[in-house]
Structure 1
């Protein structure tokens, strides 16, 4: 018996999509277009600031790292980090939604009015910025998790 006959099977071999494509398709609670649109808001703010953010800019200036000579480098690094956040934001957002699904379903029948409505809206906007701020580590974790689930056949949007 040859080595090739030992591995031949009559079953049709399923070819899984690439790991990243599988992770992109394995989303239940978020959509690509809305995630990218929401991720563009802080990305645009960071890129337009050119590295001179309210907290980080003065700290860099005090440390002597933000001078007229280094400003283009700092702006480039800031833009690169902001774009990396934008790419990984959809995965971080999906991971957040999957981890808070029980809370959202438990509060689905609750209506808030008046000041509580304003507090809820402000907190949702704050969570958008928090998720965006940690989207590099959370997005990498989400990419690995979603891609692995899709590879194992546990995807939500398998076409």
Structure 2
């Protein structure tokens, strides 16, 4: 699915949010590796589960074709600095929901880019008849948890000691969900 391009200026930073296009694949491949190395909030360590440009082209093509998928990118001066995905299921029992994920490059934190990616995704979900949006977040990512709660997400459960980081310590994963505005 695709959305119309949106323009924002927050704290002096001008950025756009638009649907991912196949030509974004090379940038997305390197950005994903970069972001995974910038924070412990992601599920992967830097370089893990690498997706090359061809893989991203396939994901973008699939997300564009499917009614229950959405792939957004955030750009600053045409450079991709973050992205978000909503991925639905082909299984009938889960066809009412999508799973949301988001990431923004560290140099662009604090400008509301992640917030606008989330808002755009939720707006799309509500207009597309998606009944539930789910996500997971590491317990230490307080800012993200607060944002999700402000946007109507509720904590549905906690996966105890679900992650083990490079330092050997275990962390809980918080499972959150939001039912659409009906």
Greater relative CO (CA pairs within 8 A, separation 6+): 1
Structure showing the higher helix proportion among its residues: 1
Structure showing the higher strand proportion among its residues: 2
Q: Who wins on radius of gyration, i.e. which is larger?
A: 1
Give the TM-score category using the shorter length. Answer: under 0.3
